[in-house]
């Protein structure tokens, strides 16, 4: 058996032994029902090999990992203009915090906290119908993954929409500062649908190849945008636990409340991990542990 297969099987076995699963996202009813005792990991390496362990063919809700793709799409569309509306600084506040919007006149600190992602999606939506913006994000993901069978789970989008008081508050607060170009409900509807995209760890790992520099990028993704997206994943990808994640794992990563993590080892590998139970920061509990083990066992690090 290949060395990488051995490492991934070892991680999967350890995760099941430890059985420290956390709790699935409770505020989105469709996600609250997912059984927490599940785990998958997939790694695509520079020679094109894809190794997996666990439930690597089970689609899960990518949630905030979609913010990576909407950022790449928006940078491709409007370039540097995005930064007048969103900052690039990590925060010590929760992913759905409204506090930081007050201190900077409605300019979110970075594109990965919810407020920043809502502004990014709003920029992508400007002048178009939600279905066009969603087709662009989904099309980009399919191109990056090299797979066509990636879809939006409308039930999850509807479920989030029904219980979205916090995100509605953020969107309306942004609008009050003139930092939304579209009707807040239209932008939010687009955002909920982008978060409800489902992927397997195999598909997600495949989609990260461009960011890891393992695959030729589609013409809309420049090397500069890929590098900058990695920088933001490193500094802001795990919300107020980003420092701890960088300390323990040492690789750019983006988490989602569906329990997924996209991890980039530049020029070496693209990695996807899934386990639906979360820690107190809204990041996958077992997934974070698995990322730590992978970094230790492979020695992969950007430092």
Q: Give the nearest residue (CB) to ligand GLU.
A: 64
Concerning whether 281 is annotated as a catalytic residue, the answer is no
Q: Which of 257, 270, 275, 284 is catalytic?
A: 257
User: Using CB under 6 A as the criterion, what x/- string covers residues 172-211 for binding ligand GLU?
Assistant: -----------------------x----------------
# residues contacting ligand GLU (CB under 6 A):
11
> By CB under 6 A, is residue 245 in contact with ligand GLU?
no
Q: Which of residues 14-53 bind ligand GLU (CB under 6 A)?
A: none
Residue 105 CA, distance from chain mean position: 26
Comparison of 256 and 277: residue with beta carbon closer to ligand GLU: 256
> By CB under 6 A, is residue 288 in contact with ligand GLU?
no
Q: Which of 44, 156, 191, 255 is catalytic?
A: 191
Provide the minimum distance between the beta carbon of 116 and ligand GLU in the complex, in angstroms, as a whole number: 11
Q: Which of 61, 64, 242, 255 is catalytic?
A: 64
> By CB under 6 A, is residue 256 in contact with ligand GLU?
yes
- What the block records as the tokens of 132 is 């066009």
The Cα–Cα gap between 167 and 297 comes to 39
The Cα–Cα gap between 301 and 234 comes to 11
The Cα–Cα gap between 65 and 205 comes to 12
Provide the minimum distance between the beta carbon of 197 and ligand GLU in the complex, in angstroms, as a whole number: 11
Find the radius of gyration of the CA atoms of the chain.
18
DSSP string for 190-252: HHHHHHTEEE-HHHHHHHTHHHHTSSPPPTT--HHHHHHHHHHHHHHTTGGGHHHHHHHT-S-
> By CB under 6 A, is residue 257 in contact with ligand GLU?
yes
Longest CA–CA span in the chain (Å) reads 58
Concerning whether 67 is annotated as a catalytic residue, the answer is yes
> By CB under 6 A, is residue 275 in contact with ligand GLU?
no
The Cα–Cα gap between 150 and 60 comes to 11
- Tell me how far CA of residue 41 lies from CA of 4, 52, 131, 246, in angstroms: 11, 5, 31, 19
Task: Identify the residue among 42, 45, 110, 114 touching ligand GLU (CB under 6 A).
Answer: 114
The catalytic residue positions are 64, 67, 191, 239, 257
Interacting residues with ligand GLU (CB under 6 A)? 63-64, 95-96, 114, 160, 167, 195, 256-257, 282
């Amino acid at each position: 058996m290949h060395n990488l297969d051995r490492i991934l099987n070892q991680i999967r076995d350890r995760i099941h032994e430890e059985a420290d699963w956390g709790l699935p996202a409770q505020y989105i009813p469709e996600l609250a029902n997912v059984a927490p005792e599940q785990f998958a990991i997939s790694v695509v390496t520079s020679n094109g090999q894809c190794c997996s362990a666990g439930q690597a063919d089970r689609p899960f809700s990518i949630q905030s990992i979609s913010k990576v793709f909407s950022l790449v799409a928006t940078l491709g569309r409007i370039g540097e203009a995005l930064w007048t509306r969103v900052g690039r600084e990590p925060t010590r506040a929760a992913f759905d915090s409204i506090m930081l919007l007050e201190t900077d006149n409605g300019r979110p600190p970075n594109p990965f906290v919810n407020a920043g992602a809502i502004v990014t999606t709003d920029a992508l939506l400007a002048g178009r119908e939600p279905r066009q913006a969603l087709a662009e994000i989904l099309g980009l993901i399919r191109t990056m993954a090299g797979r066509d069978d990636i879809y939006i789970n409308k039930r999850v989008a509807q479920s989030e929409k029904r219980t979205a008081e916090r995100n509605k508050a953020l969107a309306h607060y942004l609008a009050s500062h003139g930092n939304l170009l579209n009707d807040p409900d239209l932008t939010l509807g687009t955002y909920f649908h982008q978060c409800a995209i489902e992927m397997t760890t195999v598909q997600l790992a495949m989609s990260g190849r461009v960011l890891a520099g393992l695959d030729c990028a589609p013409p809309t993704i420049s090397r500069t945008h890929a590098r900058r997206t990695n920088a933001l994943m490193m500094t802001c990808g795990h919300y107020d636990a980003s420092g701890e994640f960088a300390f323990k794992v040492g690789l750019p990563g983006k988490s989602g409340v569906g329990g997924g993590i996209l991890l980039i080892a530049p020029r070496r590998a693209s990695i996807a991990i899934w386990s639906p139970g979360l820690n107190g920061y809204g990041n996958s509990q077992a997934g974070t542990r698995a990322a730590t083990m992978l970094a230790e066992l492979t020695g992969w690090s950007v430092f």
